[in-house]
Amino acid sequence: MIDSLTIHGLRGFGEKKTIQFAVPNGQFGSGITILVGANNSGKTTILEALRSFNSSKDNPPSFSERKRNSKCENGKVHLFLQTTDIGDYRIDTINGGGSSTTMSKVGADESTWFDGPRVFVLQSRRFVDYEFGQNFMERSDYLRNQQANIHNRTSSIYEFNARLFKMQKNKEAFDPILKQVLGYDLEWTIEQNDNGMFYLKLIINGCTHSSEGLGDGIWSVFTICDALYDSEQNSTIAIDEPELSLHPAYQKRILQLFKEYAKDRQIIINTHSPCFVDMNSLVNGAYLYRTIKNENGDIDVFHLSNESQKSIEGFLKNINQPHTLGTEAREMFFLEDRIIITEGQEDVIMYSKAADIVDLQLNGTFFGWGSGGSSNIAKIATILKDLGYKKVVAIFDGDKPNDLEKFKDQFPEYEGLIISAPDVRDKPSVNKPEKLGMMTQGGDLKDEYKDEITLLFAKINSYFQN
């Protein structure tokens, strides 16, 4: 399995960066590595680098001029792959420069022939020709041909017809996985037309459909299930944007498949969907990275720390605040920056209402439905700091000055603010003393706090803009 990958000089990686990959430990989801980040921030380049090692000593990959970053030795590429079991490999631009490379295995002598490790990489552009020729290919040959014949990011999957014929011969293994995603048994086969070409035939509710009218979502399900069903234990599968064209229900079922397979395989995914950021998997040993393009145009890679993973475990065990890491909170992994952390869910609601009342738009995004208490704000801020967020504001209630000071000491690069009232809105006396807030229980901003809230929001916007 893959232990780590170091990239230098490929596309946006003008500076050397190393990514460690999760290794499965038998628990659900433990072998998943999740890559998040904005578009054009290097996620697909990581998979492209992994796929480059599907080559052999005699047939190393080549990198066209536009793929090579001039900041690395005036346009050279250096890739280094460490595995847990079969040795370490290098791919380097030849001394004279240009597109050609050499592929070497650390410790192997010049006379030793070798294949690179096999990583099944499923690209994001998963168009499949609806008519195709007959072909049959084993998984290892398919991976080798994929690398040998794909020199650029193409819109269609090369030779997927060979995988379709393999699926048809192994329906007893493939169809149960397909059903797990679709939720029903799909009757399908490969048919031939009068022109000698083949197509996919499906029967749904008694109606016959051909692959010509098959939606992109079903094709995507076929390709994802194909990446999994004949994989072996300790193998590595990388899937670029598994969510594309898929209904959220399918995304959730595919995540369950990933978690199941990741007990004894590595699953690497690039994603823009909160559905694929699974907190339980992170607790079980999965890794999460965020990529960004920095001010110099180079790719930076940030990793969720062990401390943050322990905090996530604590959040998951808190049955009184189940929403703290819900879907809205998981959207933080996909924000570019400028995040506002509050104590609770009513803060998110009330500050949003107050912004409307004073006619001021906040130029940031609230974290989920709040952190679940002032003591949790620092834990959320640590997660954001791990992942490279530079602009974060925390707002504390007026009765939490000590928490504010601790936050400022721990996160001097972030902005900590506090309101004068003990709470954002009035709290009646129910098992606790009454609190008078900035807003009424009904959400009306009190006149005496309008200037303060206007100044608070102005400070936030100024911090975000500078």
Percent of the chain with pLDDT over 90: 78
Mean pLDDT across 331-357: 94
Q: Which one is the CATH code of 2-303: 3.40.50.2000, 1.10.760.10, 3.40.50.20, 3.40.50.300?
A: 3.40.50.300
Counting beta carbons within 10 angstroms of the beta carbon of residue 409, is it exposed (0 to 12), middle (13 to 18) or buried (19 or more)? exposed
Model confidence pLDDT, tens digit, residues 104-131: 999 998 888 898 899 999 998 878 888 8
Under the banding of pLDDT at 50, 70 and 90, the label for residue 444 is: very high
pLDDT on residue 153 = 62
Mean pLDDT (the chain, rounded): 93
Task: State the sign of the Cα–Cα–Cα–Cα dihedral 134, 139, 140, 144.
Answer: positive
pLDDT on residue 286 = 98
What are the φ and ψ backbone dihedral angles of 239, each rounded to 5 degrees?
-130, 125
pLDDT on residue 147 = 61
Which tokens in the block code for residue 252? 């959730």
Q: Is the pLDDT of residue 320 over 90?
A: no
Same fold, 2-303 and 312-465: yes
Under the banding of pLDDT at 50, 70 and 90, the label for residue 300 is: very high
Percent of the chain with pLDDT over 70: 98
Contact between 157 and 127 under an 8 Å Cβ cutoff? The reply is: yes
The Cα–Cα gap between 335 and 130 comes to 37
Listed in order, strand segments (DSSP E) in 9-87 are 17-20, 32-37, 78-83
Q: Which residues pair with 122 in a beta bridge?
A: 239
Range 312-465 classified under CATH 1.20.272? no
pLDDT on residue 429 = 78
Q: Where are the domains positioned within the chain? A: 2-303, 312-465
Give the DSSP H or E segment for 47: helix 43-52
Q: Is the pLDDT of residue 312 over 80?
A: yes
pLDDT on residue 152 = 54
Read off the pTM: 0.94
The Cα–Cα gap between 394 and 169 comes to 57
